[in-house]
Structure 1
Amino acid sequence: MKAIRAVNLSISVLLFSLLFAICFVYEASASSLVQKGRVAPNFEVVDLNGNPFKLSDLKGKPVLLNFWATWCPPCKSELPEFERFFEEYGKQVHIVAINLTLSEKSKDAVKEFVKKQGLTFPIYLDVEGSVAETYLVRYIPTSYFLDENLVVEDMHVGPLKFEDMVKKFEVD
């Protein structure tokens, strides 16, 4: 009986170790896709009207890639800052605001929120959560700063202020 328990325990430890190793390798390989100095992973999402959008279409000027949700208080606090930045520097920097739609009540709720807030910068829907998964978004808001060739320059977790964006992109 003791021998059977020992074998079962050994098998359990082995399976747990194997599962941990697989998860670690997956996480490490996924995180290596989004690193400073590397081209940001491409993705395709839709805008609020259902029109497709690809990150790779934006080469030519820097990109502020932001992940957010309507129910997130820090996200709500930074949205007016994004709007101000877009109004002043939208011709120099692309803003790509990715809503974590999987966590929302509905797409229509996101549309209504955007309308009520008076947001005019581009908003896109990550309906399946695949973009947030690719970019390893664990906390929101999370923002990535990409150069004009879509190379990752930096990442920021937490709300951004207008001044932070101006400083990061060296616009004036």
Structure 2
Amino acid sequence: MRARTLLPATLAAALLTLTACGSGEGSTSGSSAGAAATPEASSPAQPAASNGSGSGAQVPQVLNFSATTVDGKPFDAKTLAGKPTVLWFWAPWCPTCKGQAAETAKVAADNAGKVNVVGVAGLDKNAAMRDFVADTGTGSFPHLSDENGEVWKRFEVTQQSHYVILDKTGNTVYEGVLPGGKGLADKVAGLTG
């Protein structure tokens, strides 16, 4: 019963921290995002399993999760292993997120096959998330429907319009806001060049 009373309070507190559209500055980090999820997640080099895609890349603990896309398709994050990954956390009603959409889509297109780009939608219902993808023209890469905030919690994201960039081993190399997506291409180029 105690968990039922704590969940609404926790969600309310999280929503209070999300009232602004990405006003925080970014940071670089050598630690893995989502390290609070499990103690072993602090060492992304520790494999969880083979990714099953035939590439032979080991899956860091941070990518050991599954979700559903805004289109209702299953998504296994293990398939991201072995390549740099951009996780873009956004909300459908956020003007800052809309301002990042074009640059994020351009980076995804320019780096297809070399870098994974995944949108992680939250803070609204799936129908609004699908509309955002259609309205912003960002349907060329997958977007997760994270209505319950599980992926946001995994990566300790507390505000929308937030990027988490992982290197090919799953280490977080950047997390923060990039207004208009400015600087995203340079950060990705540093991982592929």
- Displacement of 1:30 in angstroms is 2.2
What is the match of residue 127 of structure 2? 108
What is the match of residue 75 of structure 1? 97
> 1:59 aligned to 2:81?
yes
What is the match of residue 177 of structure 2? 157
Instruction: After superposition, give the CA deviation of every residue in 1:39-84 in whole Å (9 maximum; x if it has no partner).
Output: 5353211112211112222112110011111111111110111111
**Partner SS for 1:75:** helix
Letter of the structure 2 residue corresponding to residue 94 of structure 1: N
**2:146 corresponds to which of 126, 146, 155:** 126
In the alignment, structure 1 segments of 5+ residues that lack a partner are 1-28
Q: Percent identity?
A: 27
**Partner SS for 1:128:** coil
Q: Does the CA contact (< 8 Å) of 2:178 and 2:184 recur in 1?
A: no
**Partner SS for 1:30:** coil
TM-score normalised to the size of structure 2?
0.63
Q: How many Å separate the matches in 2 of 1:109 and 1:157?
A: 22
Instruction: After superposition, give the CA deviation of every residue in 1:3-39 in whole Å (9 maximum; x if it has no partner).
Output: xxxxxxxxxxxxxxxxxxxxxxxxxx72886x98745
Q: How many Å separate the matches in 2 of 1:31 and 1:157?
A: 22
Of residues 70-79 and 112-121 in structure 1, the stretch that sits farther from structure 2 once superposed is: 112-121
**Partner SS for 2:82:** coil
Instruction: Say which one has the larger Rg.
Output: 1
Of residues 74-83 and 129-138 in structure 1, the stretch that sits farther from structure 2 once superposed is: 129-138
User: How many matched pairs?
Assistant: 140
- Displacement of 1:127 in angstroms is 2.3
Q: Does the CA contact (< 8 Å) of 1:36 and 1:151 recur in 2?
A: no
- Displacement of 1:147 in angstroms is 1.3
Instruction: Spell out the pairing of 1:4-153 with structure 2 (5 A cutoff).
Output: 30=36, 38=44, 39=60, 40=62, 42-100=64-122, 103-104=123-124, 106-119=125-138, 120-153=140-173
Higher helix share: 1
Q: How many Å separate the matches in 2 of 1:30 and 1:37?
A: 12
Alpha-carbon distance change, 169 to 131 in structure 1, aligned in 2, over 3 angstroms: same
In the alignment, structure 2 segments of 5+ residues that lack a partner are 1-34, 45-59
- Displacement of 1:117 in angstroms is 1.9
